[in-house]
Amino acid sequence: MIRPASQHPLEISGEWFAVYTLSCREKQVSRHFDVQAIEHFLPVSRNRRRWKNGVNALVERPLFPGYIFVRIPRANRIRVLEIPGVHSIVGTGKDPIALPDFEIEALRRGADALNMEPFPYLNVGERAIVLRGPLEGMSGIVVRKKNGLRFVLSLDLIMKSVAVEVDAADLQSCGDDVRSANSAADARTSSSVPVVVC
């Protein structure tokens, strides 16, 4: 197949993988991926911080410290491993494990529209499905706080979680009738997003 001259070989569609970086090198690795035209995603949280000198600044920190996500054909993993600051691609032995597309796409939508924050890794708790909004169709764990609810989305492959404040009306408990949740959510979600993963 002949590709346009401007299209880099790594721009063809592939799978999403989690790349483990050296400490505090996520942004540096992201810049290298830009130069190499490697599709990637570095979700960040943005918070205002007041420095000792009185200056207020917007600080960006990775949502998943030590990780950045890349979309590549599996055969091109060596090119990723050659990038300065990359430690490894998450997998078993030398075989990288792909992340589900719907998880990364939900994170991309959520990172742009919601105030996501890093959260201690959770894989046990009261599970629920998001019925509307950027995370629609995603399953996660609900944590109750004094001022409301937080929805915790965990990436089990890297054992990291993020949390976002949610309205109880936007959630369907996995303990409720799953069939009714499926029929309600099927009308709003694409077929590529599993509605119930409880």
pLDDT tens-place values along the chain, 198 residues long? 333 333 444 445 799 999 999 999 999 999 999 999 999 999 998 877 787 888 888 888 999 999 999 999 999 999 999 999 999 999 988 889 999 999 999 899 888 788 899 999 998 999 999 999 899 999 999 998 877 899 999 999 999 999 999 999 999 998 754 333 333 334 333 333 333 344
Assess contact for 129 and 71: CB atoms under 8 A. no
pTM: predicted TM-score of the whole model, two decimal places: 0.77
- CATH number at 84 reads 3.30.70.940
CA distance 174 to 169: 14
CA distance 166 to 153: 12
Please give the angle made by the CA atoms of 192, 41 and 122, to the nearest 5 degrees.
70
Q: Which domain holds residue 125?
A: 114-198
Does 76 share its domain with 128? no
Does 70 share its domain with 119? no
Assess contact for 14 and 73: CB atoms under 8 A. yes
